[in-house]
């Protein structure tokens, strides 16, 4: 089997005018030879990435085969630290990163996918143990709408049944939370230290905040009439309005409207264009908040030195193909 490497294309969108942005290695050049990669998740300054190889036909080199994931790794663009995660049988399932430096210098990775028996399960990696552990949660169906966010040291997972599970880094379920509504396009996230939920349904975007986890006290924060919002700001009416992210610190959300990213301020109703997307093919959007803290348990897995880690990440062929996805990192600096 011969493999081809992909050229990474990451667009960094800064929402601040801070000179500190210039010190952040947004091209991830410290991953020197790693071209075939994608950014999967972000959490408080760390990025979860996955490297890929692509098969080609040994007889007809111009015939390309499937993409195959080979490694997961976590990096910090601000400090140029990185680490390869221990090998896992299946790294194709849903993946999410969790890191909260005010609570711990350890980070965690949640995976949801099928095991050998075909039953989807949650597995969690933690730098506390440097190994993957299976969660007590398992379910006999896979959901395309699976979402996860990490706040207050817990992964909160929405899996398509009008419910959110809180799963701690040891894989134990600590919360089962009913969603206020679930009929539409939704988004789970966090802001200001609280779990938030956003739903687009019937021409409206509704936003809730979970104030009390024990008594499941969802507070209804805001409702946006999409048509009225577009008319107010002189934007042609379009069905292509998507909820993408919560701002991690202030009452604002991010929307994708056609080929543009906008921030919408819940308190004032102000809509501001953040970025015009030059190419929306395969777009993924990840919110990224830099951290300059070092020593974040960025150790190499399995006792490997740096050369061995790179050897595992590298494919055997140096030909370059254009990557299919562009990852826009929304950077928050205050």
Select from 16, 1, 122, 145 the least CA-distant residue to 59. Answer: 1
Select from 320, 327, 243 the least CA-distant residue to 282. Answer: 327
Distance CA(70)–CA(158), nearest Å, equals 27
For CA atoms 134, 140, 143, 149, the dihedral sign is negative
pLDDT at 12: 74
Domain total for the chain?
1
Could you say which residues of the chain have pLDDT below 70? 1-10, 16-22, 32-35, 53-70, 89-92, 114-120, 136-145, 160-161, 278-284, 293-334
Q: Which domain holds residue 216?
A: 2-331
Distance CA(131)–CA(171), nearest Å, equals 12
pLDDT at 158: 86
Please count the other Cβ atoms lying within 10 Å of the Cβ belonging to residue 160.
15
Distance CA(106)–CA(81), nearest Å, equals 14
pLDDT at 29: 78
Distance CA(19)–CA(21), nearest Å, equals 5
pLDDT at 282: 57
The answer for residues whose C-beta is within 8 angstroms of residue 197's C-beta and 6 or more apart is 158, 164, 179, 180, 186, 187, 188, 189, 207, 208, 209, 210, 218
Ordered strands of the 10-14 beta sheet = 10-14, 326-331, 283-288
pLDDT at 7: 42
For CA atoms 62, 68, 69, 70, the dihedral sign is negative
Please count the other Cβ atoms lying within 10 Å of the Cβ belonging to residue 182.
16
pLDDT at 186: 83
pLDDT at 138: 58
DSSP 22: G
pLDDT at 35: 58
Asked if 137 and 171 touch (Cβ cutoff 8 Å), the reply is: yes
Asked if 95 and 50 touch (Cβ cutoff 8 Å), the reply is: yes
Q: What CATH number does the domain containing 134 carry?
A: 2.120.10
Go through 197-206 and write b for each residue having 16 or more CB atoms within 10 A of its CB, e for each that does not. bbbbeeeebb
3-state helix, strand, coil split of the chain in percent (to 5) is: 5, 50, 45
Distance CA(206)–CA(179), nearest Å, equals 12
DSSP SS3 for 282: coil
**How confident is the model over 59-72, as pLDDT tens digits?**
544 445 555 556 88
pLDDT at 255: 92
The answer for residues whose C-beta is within 8 angstroms of residue 236's C-beta and 6 or more apart is 230
pLDDT at 253: 93
pLDDT at 26: 73
pLDDT at 323: 38
Q: pTM of the prediction?
A: 0.82
pLDDT at 248: 86
């Amino acid at each position: 089997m011969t493999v081809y490497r992909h050229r990474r294309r990451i667009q960094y969108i800064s929402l601040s005018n801070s000179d500190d942005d210039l010190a952040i290695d947004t091209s991830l050049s410290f991953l020197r030879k790693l071209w075939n990669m994608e950014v999967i998740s972000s959490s408080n300054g760390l990025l979860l990435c996955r490297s890929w190889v692509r098969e080609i036909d040994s007889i007809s080199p111009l015939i390309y085969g499937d993409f195959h994931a080979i490694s997961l790794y976590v990096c910090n663009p601000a400090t140029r630290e990185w680490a390869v995660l221990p090998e896992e049988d299946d790294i194709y399932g849903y993946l999410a990163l969790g890191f909260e430096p005010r609570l711990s210098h350890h980070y965690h990775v949640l995976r949801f996918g099928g095991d050998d028996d075909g039953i989807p399960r949650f597995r969690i990696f933690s730098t506390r143990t440097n190994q993957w552990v299976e969660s007590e949660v398992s379910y006999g169906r896979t959901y395309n709408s699976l979402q996860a966010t990490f706040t207050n040291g817990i992964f909160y997972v929405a899996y398509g049944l009008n419910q959110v599970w809180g799963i701690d880094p040891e894989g134990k379920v600590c919360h089962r939370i009913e969603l206020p509504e679930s009929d539409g396009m939704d988004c789970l996230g966090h802001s200001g230290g609280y779990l938030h939920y956003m739903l687009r349904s019937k021409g409206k975007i509704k936003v809730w905040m979970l104030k009390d986890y024990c008594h499941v006290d969802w507070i209804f924060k805001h409702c946006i009439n999409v048509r009225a919002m577009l008319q107010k700001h002189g934007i042609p009416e379009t069905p292509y309005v998507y909820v993408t992210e919560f701002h991690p610190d202030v009452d604002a959300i991010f929307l994708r409207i056609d080929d543009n990213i906008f921030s919408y301020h819940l308190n004032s109703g102000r809509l501001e264009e953040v970025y015009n997307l030059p190419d929306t093919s395969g777009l993924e959007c990840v919110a990224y908040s830099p951290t300059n803290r070092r020593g974040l348990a960025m150790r190499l897995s399995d006792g490997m030195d740096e050369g061995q880690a790179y050897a595992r990440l590298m494919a055997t062929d140096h030909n370059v193909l254009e990557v299919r996805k562009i990852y826009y990192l929304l950077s928050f600096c205050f």
